[in-house]
Amino acid sequence: MLFVLGTERTGRKEEAYGKGLSLWESGPPENMRYYVAYAIARLSRDLSMKDESVVWFRRMYDLASDKKHAVQALSQIIELGGAGPEDAAALLINSPTDKRALALLADAKAGTSGLVEYALGYRAYIGKKYGEAMAHFELASKDIAYGEAARYYHAYSAYREKKDDTAYKLWSDLALTGFDYPQRSVQRLETLAGRYKKDEIIGLFKKAAAAREKDYPAVASDALAALMRIGGPSEAAEAERILFAIHTSSAQAAAIRWERGWRAWKEKRYRDAYDQWSAGYSHDIENPETASRLLYWQMRALEKLNSPIAAERIKNQLVSRWPAEYYTFLASPDGGIKSGDAPEKYVVSDDLSEWGFVTDARLASSGITSANVTSEDIPVLYRSARLALWNGDFPSAVRTFSVMRKALPPDELAAAEMLKISYPQAFKAAVEAASDRTGTPQGVIWGVMRQESVYEPNVTSSAGAYGLMQLMPATAKDESKKMAMSADAYLRPADNILLGANYLAWLFARFKQAPLALAAYNAGGSPVSRWSKAPITDMAEWVEDIAYRETRGYVKAVLRNIEVYKLLYAERGGSDGD
């Protein structure tokens, strides 16, 4: 493989193509097949072998392990004019606003395939054309690969169209038998119970709690939590007993304990608040935000109860167990981050890495996931992430780090040089220029960029937000006018950063404090103005009371990002994070 890459890069493409074919015919290892197919596809394309290239890009797509690789292969197939309806549909699912895919599907006949129908249905769904979406999802519902997703979104479209019988039937079936969408279906059924067949939905939740306890415990705990909210007194009490006895460390148990503690806190019942948060915390909780939140507010409650020694003990536990989290920064200015390099045991190099062969590192790490990672995998992942950074592939570095952290002890996770993998100075020159021009600190720009796009320059959301700073077209247009730039400037990465930074500068000038400005970046200025009418005496409380769940999580994540960047790089301009 390295010979193929070397001859390709030195312009000997015919030789590289022949060696690539020989390598494929020799039966390369499974984790290498994607890269071999990609090399042959590129080379045959460059050698003007169009039909051959399409075949290999299609093989590359079949072997793709993530969305980025799939989109890359499908885009090339369309560029080469070898795409059919199913290729266009697959691209549309991964990139709902792709105009080329939409054009190819414009004349697709009903029932072409489950994939095509699902893609068209999803496109109609995000465009709020629910009647049209239902027709497509109905045709896609029998497809093995997309049937469950089609039934879920069919149900949601029916719900929006007030066709509650259809929504109830589809969501109920998914709650009891699904494996991709059962939790979301339980959540939707709880909402549906507000206007339709509440008693039947309560009965369904009882059934789901019992039926799915072994094969899908998270669905069972979701159903129990829903029963606690919408069931009668006896039903709620029994559901609570089971949830707290059997699903002690579940996300639902922690969430319910949190909410009860928060109500007690707001009523100044600090002992009750502490008791709920203490009962909700478990060492088995894997979600850093959930665990650190419970510990932080335990600490705050103990401070209110004049128990400084106990509060300090909880603080130390928070800082040592969950470094570089939002709540850790609230408790400690350094967020538990320690200066220093990654442990030497992880810095294992080899000749290929020294020469920067990114493909070799990716091959070595491709089979390692969050579900199976162990401490023995860390050197391989660390090498892969470092090479990704060297190659400017910031998203891959962050994704690799997210796998690494599952096996990293907290004290090693807290090492500054280790954290730089997940918090890189992406597009550094453009960020520095935007910061100098707009006054927005670099850490704020990077903090927003990481949360909005994970440094993917061309990503488009289902709502139409684009680029590194995820600017909506209307916002981009307004900022372009302010800065005397062209209307399409936001499509270019450096200009997208500049426009986003300018918008942030305006929000910071308007709202004065970082949490408010960031909330406005996510949710708009009007809601933030409503939420901040009364004087804010405790900013941590204000953040917890943000009405929109998405915005609340967004603000916490970006504030954390800003503080991490501030400590890792100490860039000029600081972070304005208070």
What is the rounded CA–CA span in Å between residue 128 and residue 415?
46
> Which pLDDT score, from 0 to 100, does residue 361 have?
59
Encode pLDDT of 124-152 as tens digits. Answer: 898 899 999 999 999 999 888 889 999 99
> Which pLDDT score, from 0 to 100, does residue 220 have?
96
Question: How far, in whole angstroms, is CA 230 from its chain's centroid?
Answer: 30
Where residue 249 falls among pLDDT bands split at 50, 70, 90?
A: confident
Range in 263-277, 359-373, 468-482 with the lowest mean pLDDT: 359-373
Q: Is the pLDDT of residue 353 over 60?
A: no
Question: What is the mean predicted confidence (pLDDT) over 222-239?
Answer: 95
Encode pLDDT of 488-523 as tens digits. Answer: 999 999 999 999 999 999 999 999 999 999 999 999
H or E element, residue 374: none
Encode pLDDT of 282-336 as tens digits. Answer: 888 889 999 999 999 999 999 999 999 999 999 999 999 999 999 999 999 999 9
For residues 1 and 35, the answer to whether their CB atoms sit within 8 Å is yes
Q: Is the pLDDT of residue 381 over 90?
A: no
What is the rounded CA–CA span in Å between residue 101 and residue 78?
8
For residues 506 and 444, the answer to whether their CB atoms sit within 8 Å is no
Mapping DSSP onto H, E and C, the string for 32-57 reads: HHHHHHHHHHHHHHHCCCHHHHHHHH
Residue 245 in tokens:
């006895």
Encode pLDDT of 78-87 as tens digits. Answer: 889 888 888 8
Range in 8-22, 348-362, 558-572 with the lowest mean pLDDT: 348-362
Q: Would you tell me the crossing angle of helices 251-266 and 233-246 to the nearest 10 degrees?
A: 120
Where residue 441 falls among pLDDT bands split at 50, 70, 90?
A: very high
Q: Residues 6 or more apart from 404 whose CB is under 8 A from it?
A: 373, 377, 378, 381, 382, 385, 421
DSSP 491: G
> Which pLDDT score, from 0 to 100, does residue 572 have?
42
Where residue 54 falls among pLDDT bands split at 50, 70, 90?
A: very high
Q: Is the pLDDT of residue 458 over 80?
A: yes
pTM for the whole thing? 0.80
Question: What is the mean predicted confidence (pLDDT) over 411-424?
Answer: 92
Where residue 344 falls among pLDDT bands split at 50, 70, 90?
A: confident
> Which pLDDT score, from 0 to 100, does residue 467 have?
93
Q: Is the pLDDT of residue 356 over 90?
A: no
Sign of the Cα torsion 250, 314, 422, 397 reads negative
Task: Single out the residue of 564, 285, 281, 294 nearest to residue 413, CA to CA.
Answer: 564
For residues 155 and 167, the answer to whether their CB atoms sit within 8 Å is yes
**Between 234 and 96, residue with greater pLDDT:** 234
Where residue 342 falls among pLDDT bands split at 50, 70, 90?
A: confident
What is the rounded CA–CA span in Å between residue 394 and residue 387?
10
Where residue 573 falls among pLDDT bands split at 50, 70, 90?
A: very low
What is the rounded CA–CA span in Å between residue 468 and residue 457?
5
> Which pLDDT score, from 0 to 100, does residue 345 have?
79
Q: What is the rounded average pLDDT for all residues in the chain? A: 90
Alpha helices by DSSP H, 178-232: 182-192, 198-211, 217-230
Where residue 64 falls among pLDDT bands split at 50, 70, 90?
A: confident
For residues 154 and 134, the answer to whether their CB atoms sit within 8 Å is yes
For residues 302 and 311, the answer to whether their CB atoms sit within 8 Å is yes
What is the rounded CA–CA span in Å between residue 47 and residue 57?
14
Task: Single out the residue of 47, 45, 56, 43 nearest to residue 7, CA to CA.
Answer: 43
What is the rounded CA–CA span in Å between residue 436 and residue 440?
8
Give buried/exposed letters for 245-273 (b at 16+ CB in 10 A, else e).
eebeebbbbbebbbebbbebbeeebbebb
